[in-house]
């Protein structure tokens, strides 16, 4: 039963990254690529009816994590307390940047909240990439010093960074050269993803420039992916060992490769949705590859004293997991119904939505 909930949790997390990821990317587009008020409005119109619904997936992920893997929830929320608080503030500023901009029609006021929306979106993409890097790298469970565990085996706490920025140091930080690299990968990935969403949902002159930018950024992303894959072997020797023993798992890196390569034809796509589907495929394939390579670990230990936190060791009792399936089915049906209604109401281009106008 714990495997079922692990799959549910990872799937929900992947859906959140794809959905709220295009919101982050649209914010980055808003910050760096828009030139006129019309283009700024096009970006906010593209995400206006969707962004708050997309954030609900993050809350749902937290709920499933608390229910199915409570010890992991406690460990992660205490160990990553500082970056989680920073992410919370960034989510707040992104939201109020969207909602407050149109309250007062003053150039200084609008510019202030434009920057808040764009910078918060950029930092959210960066921090979520860094968070993935921390999980891939692992943490010093039990706060081991000189071979002795100073805390409970599942406890850890990370400073924002350590002086050396070395991911292999005994006392790690949230930010080091490896996690920062994955953060940059996330920023580029979600910028492309957000630009594809803006192209899909709007029809302004901005779209032509975004296609050119996506084409160029895809070369940057390809280089970053190859670099991070190579450095992954330094931080975690033999990271893809699960793929060597279960060949069907190669479906995920192949999916990621198709999504990445497909972006190079962005200028030739006849349907605006095609680019978004390719970027979503890359995100899902990359995330699934990472999860599959780590299984059964949920949070690896970087020391030899305390074991990694695994799906089996962190799962709630079997009875609770079994009862939860019934409530999950009800929730899944409601989500499907809501999503179908939302997409039918807001189908097509969103140029005339007028989101945030007062």
- DSSP sequence for 85-129: HHHHHHHHHHHHHHHHGGGS--HHHHHHHHHHHHHHHHHHHHHHH
In a domain, 289, yes or no: no
Predicted pLDDT of residue 357: 64
Q: Is residue 276 part of a domain?
A: no
Q: Look at residue 168 in the predicted model and tell me its pLDDT.
A: 85
Q: Across residues 291-309, what is the average pLDDT?
A: 90
Q: Is the per-residue pLDDT at 234 higher than 60?
A: yes
User: Would you place residue 126 in the very low, low, confident or very high pLDDT band (cuts 50, 70, 90)?
Assistant: very high
Q: Is the pLDDT of residue 276 over 90?
A: yes
Q: Is residue 54 situated within a structural domain?
A: yes
User: In a 3-state reduction of DSSP, which class is residue 146?
Assistant: coil
Count of structural domains within the chain = 1
Please say if the pLDDT value at position 345 is more than 80: yes
Residues 6+ apart with CB under 8 A from 218: 192, 260, 263, 264, 266
Phi, psi at residue 192, to the nearest 5°? Answer: -65, -45
Point out the least confidently predicted range of 72-81, 95-104, 212-221.
Answer: 95-104
Cα–Cα distance, 214 to 33 (Å, whole number)? 11
**Does 9 have pLDDT greater than 90?**
yes
Judged against a pLDDT cut of 80, whether residue 351 lies above it is answered with: no
On whether residue 133 sits in a domain, the answer given is: yes
* Band (358; pLDDT cuts 50, 70, 90): low
pLDDT-based confidence at residue 134 (cuts at 50, 70, 90): very high
Residue 356's pLDDT band, with cuts at 50, 70 and 90, is low
pLDDT of 82 over the 70 cut = yes
Among 196, 204, 178, CA closest to 351: 204
Dihedrals phi, psi of 68, to nearest 5 degrees: -90, -35
Query: What per-residue confidence (pLDDT) applies to 98?
Result: 86
Q: Please compute the mean of the pLDDT values over residues 308-330 and round it to a whole number.
A: 90
98: Cβ–Cβ under 8 A, 6 or more apart, which residues?
Answer: 44, 48, 51, 113, 117, 355, 356
Residue 42 has pLDDT above 70, yes or no: yes
268 within a domain of the structure (yes/no): no
CB 5 within 8 A of CB 47: no
Query: Is the pTM of the predicted complex or chain greater than 0.85?
Result: yes
pLDDT band at 217 (very low <50, low <70, confident <90, very high): very high
What is the pLDDT averaged over residues 85-95? 92
Residue 237 pLDDT > 90: no
Percent of the chain beyond pLDDT 90?
54
Q: How confident is the prediction for the chain on average, in pLDDT?
A: 90
Q: What is the mean pLDDT of residues 193-212?
A: 93
Residue 278 domain flag: no
Identify the three-state secondary structure at position 176: coil
- The CB density around residue 225, as the number of other CB atoms within 10 Å, is 18
Residue 212 pLDDT > 60? yes
Residue ranges making up the domain that contains 171:
2-247+294-345
Is 283 within the bounds of a domain? no
Q: For residue 153, what pLDDT is reported?
A: 86
57-81: average pLDDT = 91
Q: How far is CA 306 from CA 81, 99, 152, 167, 282, in A?
A: 21, 46, 9, 18, 34
Average pLDDT over residues 187-193: 97
Q: Output phi, psi for 184, to 5 deg.
A: -65, -40
pLDDT at 221 over 80: yes
Instruction: Judge whether residue 285 has pLDDT over 80.
Output: yes
Q: Is residue 100 part of a domain?
A: yes
Q: Mean pLDDT, to the nearest integer, of 201-228? A: 93
Least confident span in 130-139, 144-153, 200-209, 349-358: 349-358
């Amino acid at each position: 039963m714990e495997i079922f909930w692990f799959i549910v949790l990872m799937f929900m997390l992947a859906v959140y990254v794809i959905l709220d990821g295009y919101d982050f990317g649209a914010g980055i587009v808003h910050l760096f690529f828009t030139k006129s008020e019309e283009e700024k409005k096009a970006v906010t119109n593209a995400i206006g009816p969707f962004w708050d619904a997309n954030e609900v997936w993050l809350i749902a992920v937290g709920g499933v994590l608390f229910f199915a893997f409570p010890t992991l929830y406690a460990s992660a929320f205490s160990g990553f307390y500082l970056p989680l608080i920073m992410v919370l503030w960034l989510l707040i500023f992104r939201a109020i940047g969207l909602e407050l901009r149109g309250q007062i029609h003053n150039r200084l006021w609008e510019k202030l909240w434009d920057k808040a929306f764009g910078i918060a979106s950029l930092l959210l993409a960066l921090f979520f990439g860094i968070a993935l890097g921390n999980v891939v790298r692992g943490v010093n469970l039990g706060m081991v010093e000189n071979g002795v565990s100073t805390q409970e085996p599942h406890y850890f706490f990370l400073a924002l960074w350590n002086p050396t920025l070395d991911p292999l140091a005994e006392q790690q930080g949230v930010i080091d050269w490896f996690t920062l690299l994955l953060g940059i990968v996330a920023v580029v990935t979600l910028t492309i993803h957000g630009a594809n969403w803006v192209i899909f949902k709007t029809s302004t002159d901005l779209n032509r420039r975004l296609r050119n930018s996506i084409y160029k950024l895809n070369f940057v992303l390809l280089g970053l992916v190859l670099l991070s894959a190579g450095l992954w072997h330094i931080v975690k020797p033999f990271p893809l060992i699960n793929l060597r023993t279960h060949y069907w798992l190669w479906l995920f890196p192949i999916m990621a490769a198709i999504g990445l390569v497909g972006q190079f034809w962005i200028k030739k796509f006849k349907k605006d949705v095609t680019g978004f589907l390719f970027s979503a495929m890359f995100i899902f394939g990359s995330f699934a590859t990472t999860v599959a390579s780590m299984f059964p670990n949920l949070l690896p230990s970087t020391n030899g004293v305390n074991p990694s936190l695994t799906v089996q060791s962190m799962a709630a009792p079997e009875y609770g997991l079994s009862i939860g399936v019934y409530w999950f089915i009800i929730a899944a049906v409601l989500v499907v119904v809501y999503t179908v209604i939302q997409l039918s109401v807001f189908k097509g281009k969103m140029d005339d939505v007028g989101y945030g106008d007062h």
